[in-house]
A and B are shown apart, each in its own frame.
Chain A
Amino acid sequence: MSQDPRTQVTEIIERLTSGDTAGERPEVLLPLIYDELRRLAGSYLRRERPDHTLQATELVHDAYAKLVDQSRVQWQGRTHFFAVAANAMRRLLVDHARKRGRDKRGGGQQRVTLQEEILVLPGFDVSMADLIALDDALTELGDLSPRQSQVVEMRCFAGLKVDEVAENLGVSRRSVEADWTHARAWLRRKLDEDGPR
C-alpha cells in the first residue's frame, strides 16, 4: 500500500462510522495500529527507558494522535480506534513479554522474572512476567464472558473510560461498571491463585 498509515487509518474509521463498510471489520485496523504502537514503544521495548515503566494508555493515545486526523473523525470513530488499539496493545505487550522470556531463558532456567520492568495498566500493576499470566487469565475470562474480556482490554490497554467502553459496546454504563468490577476481582483472584509465590 502506498498510502501513508495516517490517511489509511482515518479513511477506514470514516467508513466504519458512516456504516459504509462493505463488510469491513474494525480488525483491519489492527496491523496498522500494531506497527505504530511498536514504533512508539520502541525505546521501552529495547529497554532503554531509565525508569523501566511503560504507560500503555499514553502510548495508545500517542498512536491515536499520530494515526487519526481528528478533524475528520467523530468520537464514535474514536471508540472504534481504541477498541482495536487496546487489542493491538495487548498483543504487542504479550508478544514482547514472550520474546523477552525466550531471550532470557537458558540453561534449564524455567521461570524468568522481569521484575525490573513495570507496566502501568489501569487497575493492575504488573511486571512483564505477570503480563503473560494476565493475558492467559484474560483469555480464560473471555471464554466465560467475552464482553468482560473486552471491557478489561479497553480499560486496561487503551485507557478508555467507562462511558467510552459503554458506547463502544452498545451497553449501559452500569453494565460496564459491573463487568469491570467483576472482571477485576476475578482476574486478581486468578492471578493470585496461579501466580508465583
Chain B
Amino acid sequence: MNSERHERVRELLFSALERPPAERDSWLRDAAAGDADLVAEVHSLLRFHVEESDEAPSTGSGAATEPQPGDLFANRYRIVRRVGRGGMGEVFEARDETLGVTVALKRLVRADLIHDESFRNEVRLARQVTHPTVCRVYDLGEHEGERFLTMEFVDGEDLASLLRRVGRLPTERVAEIGRSLCVGLAAAHAQGVVHRDLKPGNILIDSDGRTHITDFGIAVLQDDTNSAFRSAGTPSYMAPEQLVPGAAVSELSDIYAVGLVLHEMLTGEPVFPGDSRTKVLDQRRTVALRRPSEVVSGVDPVLERVVLRCLRTAPNERPASVLQLAAALPGGDALGVAVDAGVTPPPELVADAHRQQPRPANDRSFQWFVALLVLLALVAVGMSSLGYFPAAPDDIHPQVRAHRAAALLRELGAPEPELGTFRGYFLDPTSREEAQSLFFWYREDGPPPRSTFQRTVLDPAQRMVIFDGVPTPRTTANLVVFDEHDRLVHLSMGVPGPSPQSDSVAVQGSAQRGRLFEYAGLDRARLVPQDPELSPVLADSVWAWSIADPRQPDREVHVELAETNGRAVYFSAGMPEVEAQPLIESRLNRVNLLNVVSAPMVLLIAIVGVVLAVRNHRRGRVDGVGTRRLVVFCAATFFLSWLLLIGYLPHPGIHHGELLASRFIFLVVINPLMLFVIYPAIEPGIRRFLPRALVGWSRVLRGDFNNRDVGWALLVGCTFGCAWALLGLVDKVIAREVGGVVTPGIDHAVRLQAAQSLAGTMAILLRQIIDAIARSGLTLLVFLLFRMRLKRERWAWVGVVLFVGILETLVSGSYLPLSWLVVGLPVVLSGVWMLRNQGLLPYIVAGFTANSLRFVPISIEANVWWARGGMLVLLVIFVLGVTGLVMIRSRKRDFSAGFSSHGA
C-alpha cells in the first residue's frame, strides 16, 4: 500500500465513521466506486476502531469510557458522581437500581487489569468482615470486560482530606478515631484479615463523625504466603517489615499503621511524606522518628506513649493486639472495643481492664458498708425473732437427746454400737403447717450383713428400717425416734442383743413394754386394743392399740408393738405414715412441674454445653488457666465439705458408707469434671458479650485478690445478699399474713444439717460458694442462649429475668403472686442489674451471702444450742464486707496497666 492509497483509506474511514453505523456499508460501497480492496481495508480498520469520547482522556484509558453522572452502568448502577480515586481504580457514588440503595462503585481502569487478582482478594477477604466500622463489600461484577466492585457507600470525607482541611485534630478526637480504628481492625483481625494498607486515605469519617475503614484491597490472609501482593501497600504508611520483601506481615503491621495515623492526626503532618518505597526507606534510615510533641505542642502524653509504642521497628515491641492498643489509649476501654468489634477478648485483657483508673475521691464505699451493717443487723434480728425452727427442740441440745435414746436402747438389751452412731432431725413432711413436727432420730449401726446374698437382696427402701414397717433381721441398725415433745414415737431393732435366756440384766416382757409406754408418754390403762396392721411374719407377737393423744385429745394415736423372743423389736406411736425418702419426695410433689421440666432441661443444657465447649475449644477461645483453677478450687471445696460431713447422715434411712462413697463420687469427682465442660462452654461467650462482667472474676481466677474490683464485689455482693435475705423474710411474713403455702422443706433439711455442728455449718457455707457459682453459671448460660438468638442484649436480659424468675418461683418462695411481685421480681431484677453493672463476682458473693443466711439458722440469742453456726455466718459476712471496704480504700496503687506489663 502506498501513501496515496493510505490517504484515500483515511478519508473513507473518517467519513464512514461520521455516518450512522447502519448506513456505513452502502455509503462505503458507493464511495469506493467498486474498489473492493479499498472497502475491505476500511472494514478491517473499522473493526479496530474504538470510540474515544473524551478529547483528553484523564485516565489514559482509550477503550473504556468513564461513566458520567446519570449513566446507567452495567444495566444496574445509576452513576451519581465520582467521589474519588483509590489505588485500585475510580470510585463513584451510584444508585443500585435493582435494590434501590446507594452504593460505592469502584471501577477498575483498564490499565489496571493486572490488579485483577488483588481485586478478587479484596472481595473475598473483605466480605468475611461484617462490621459497621469496616466498609461492607457487596459484590464483584463484570461489565464490558471490566471488573467493578460495589460496596457500602459512606457519605463522608476521608481522613486525609479532613487533615488537609483542618490541620491537626484535638486529642479527644484522635483518641476517638483511634478507638474506632481498633474496633474495625479487631473485627478484621479476628477473621484473620490484615488490612496492610491502613492510611488516612482509607479512613472515612461519615457525616455523623463515625469512622469507617475502607479498602481492604490488598489485605491477604496471614497464612497466604504465596500471594504476589505481599508487599503491596502505600510506602508512607507501611510498617518496616512490609518494606522488606518476604518478611512476615501480621496484625502488628496494622498496629504500626495505626501509630502513623495517630501521629499524623496529632501533628497534622505525615510521618514519612515520601511517595516511593525508596524515599520512605531512605527517610527511615536517615531521619530519626520525631515524637509528636517535638512537632507540635500540647500533645497528650498518654497518646504520645501509645504512638511511639506502635511505631517500634520490632513488631514484638508494639502492643500485642489492637485490643491492647485500645486499652492503652486515653480512657482506654479495651473491653468496650472488643464488644463493639464483636470479638472475644483474651482473659488476661479482661483481668487487666480498668486498672489504671484512680479511685474517685467520693466513691461511697463507706455508705455501702454502713448499708451492709444495717441490713445484716436487720436480717439477724428478723430471722431470730421470726423463728426458723419449730419452737420445742430449740433448747435441748441434740447431744442430750442422743444420750436419752442410747439409754433406752441399753435398757432394751441392745449391744453397744459397733460401727458408730448417727443422729439428726427430720420434719413431718405430711404437715403443711409452718410449725411442723420436728422429729429427732438416733441410730446405732451394727456390723454389716454377713453374706453377700443378704446384701444383694437389700433394696434401698428395705434398708430404711423406719419406713418398711417391719423390723427384719437383715437390717443392721437400731433406730429411735422422738417427737418434738421428746416422746418416743418409733423404735426398731435391727441388731439383736444377746439372747434373753443368757441375759438376766435386761428388762423383759411386760416390764420392757412399760418402759416403752413411759418413753412414749402414754397411759397403758387407756389403750384400746385394735387389729394390728403389721404382718407378724418376722415377729413372735404383734399388738396394736389406739389412744387419744394426751396433748391433743382430739387426735387419735395408733400404737403398734412387735416382740421376738420376748423382746421388743418394733414400736410405733403416732409416727406419721411416710414413704421412702419423705423429705425429698414431698418436695418433688410440690414442684412437680419443675421436676417434669427440669430433666429434659438438664439434658438440653448438657448437650448445648458440650456443643459450645467443643466450638470454643476449636476456636481457641477457652480460658485454660481459668478453667483449671476453677475446677481445682471446686474439687478442693467439695472435698473439704465432704470431710466436714463425715459422720453426718441427712436422713435415718441412709447407709453411711454408701453415702460417703456416692457423695465423694458426685461431689469431688463428677461435679468438677462437669465443670471442665460447662465452664469452657459458657465463659468465652460471656467474655465476648459481657467482658466487663468478668473483670473481678478473672482477676480472682488469676490469683489477684487484693484490688478494688474484688473489694467492690465483696462489699456490693454482701450488701445485696443481705437485702435478698431480708426480702426472703418479707416473703415469709407475706405468706403468713395472706395464708400462702410455706414450704420450709429443703430449707429446713439443710438448716438442720447446718445446726447439727459447726462442721456442718462450715460444710454448708462451702457448698454455698459452689452453689452460688453454679447458679450464676446457669443465669449466664440462659443469658448466652438468649443473647445468641436475640442479638440484642436488652432482650436477652428480659429473657433471663423471665426464665430465672420462673425457676426461682418454682424452687423456693411461697407461690403467691403478691410475694413474687414484691420479693421474687426485685431479687431477679437486682441480680440482673448487678450482673450487668457490677459483674459476675458480686453476683456470686450476693448469692453466697443470701443463701448462707437462708440455710444456716440465725439467732442472736447466744444461749440457743444452734446459735454458733448462725454467729459464724454473720461473722463471715461481716469480715467479707470489711475486707471489701479495706481493699477499696487501700492507698496501694493498682498494678500498672496490662499494656506495659504485657507488651513485650
Contact = CB atoms under 8 A, between A and B. Distances in A.
Interface stretch (A26-34, A71-79, A95-103, A116-124): A116-124
A43 B14 CA distance: 40
A6 interface: no
Nearest to B51: A181
A145 interface: yes
B67 interface: no
Contacts of A185: 13, 45-46, 48-49
B60 A122 contact: yes
B13 A123 contact: no
Contact of B61 (A125, A144, A162): A125
Contacts of A43: 276, 278
Interface stretch (B4-12, B203-211, B786-794): B4-12
Interface in A119-142: 120-125
A125 B13 contact: no
Contact of B14 (A51, A145, A178): A178
Contacts of A48: 276-278
Nearest to A187: B48
A189 B44 contact: yes
A21 interface: no
Contacts of B45: 182, 185-186, 189
B680 to A, nearest CB: 46
Given A50-B277, A125-B60, A185-B45, A161 B13 contact: no
A91 interface: no
Given A48-B276, A125-B111, A189-B48, A161 B1 contact: no
A120 B112 CA distance: 10
Interface string B1-41: 11100110111011001000000000000000000000000
A159 B55 CA distance: 11
A153 B55 CA distance: 16
A162 B55 CA distance: 7
A182 B13 contact: yes
Nearest to A155: B56
Nearest to B3: A144
Contacts of B10: 145, 148, 178-179, 182
Interface in A169-197: 177-179, 181-182, 184-186, 188-189, 192
A125 B62 CA distance: 8
Contact of A55 (B1, B49, B56, B60): B60
A37 to B, nearest CB: 17
A145 B6 contact: yes
A123 B52 contact: yes
A185 B16 CA distance: 13
A177 B55 CA distance: 10
Nearest to A117: B114
B232 A145 contact: no
B57 interface: yes
A105 interface: no
Nearest to A52: B114
A104 interface: no
A113 interface: no
Interface in B70-129: 87, 110-112, 114
Name the residue in B13, B111, B233, B276 with the highest tally of chain A Cβ atoms < 10 Å from its Cβ.
B111
A181 B276 contact: no
A53 interface: yes
Nearest to B63: A125
Nearest to A116: B114
Name the residue in A115, A120, A121 with the highest tally of chain B Cβ atoms < 10 Å from its Cβ.
A120
B831 interface: no
Contacts of B276: 43, 48-50
Contacts of A115: 114
Contacts of A189: 44-45, 47-48
Contact of B87 (A49, A51, A123): A51
B22 to A, nearest CB: 20
Contact of A192 (B3, B6, B48): B48
B862 interface: no
Contacts of A144: 1-3, 6
B739 to A, nearest CB: 85
Given A48-B278, A125-B62, A182-B9, A188 B48 contact: yes
A122 B790 CA distance: 57
A118 B63 CA distance: 15
Nearest to B234: A50
Contact of B110 (A125, A179, A181): A125
B870 interface: no
A159 B60 CA distance: 9
Given A161-B56, A178-B10, A184 B50 contact: yes
Nearest to B278: A48
A116 B235 CA distance: 19
Contacts of A162: 55
A127 B11 CA distance: 31
5 contacts: A43-B276, A43-B278, A124-B62, A179-B10, A188-B50
* A-B complex: 8 closest residue pairs judged by Cβ atoms: A120-B60, A178-B14, A188-B48, A185-B45, A182-B10, A123-B62, A185-B48, A144-B6
Given A122-B57, A144-B1, A189-B44, 14 more contacts: A43-B276, A49-B276, A118-B112, A124-B62, A144-B6, A177-B14, A178-B10, A181-B14, A181-B49, A182-B9, A182-B13, A184-B50, A185-B45, A188-B50
Interface of A: 43, 48-51, 53, 55, 57, 115-116, 118, 120-125, 144-145, 148, 159, 161-162, 177-179, 181-182, 184-186, 188-189, 192
Interface of B: 1-3, 6-7, 9-11, 13-14, 17, 44-50, 52, 55-57, 59-63, 87, 110-112, 114, 232-233, 235, 276-278
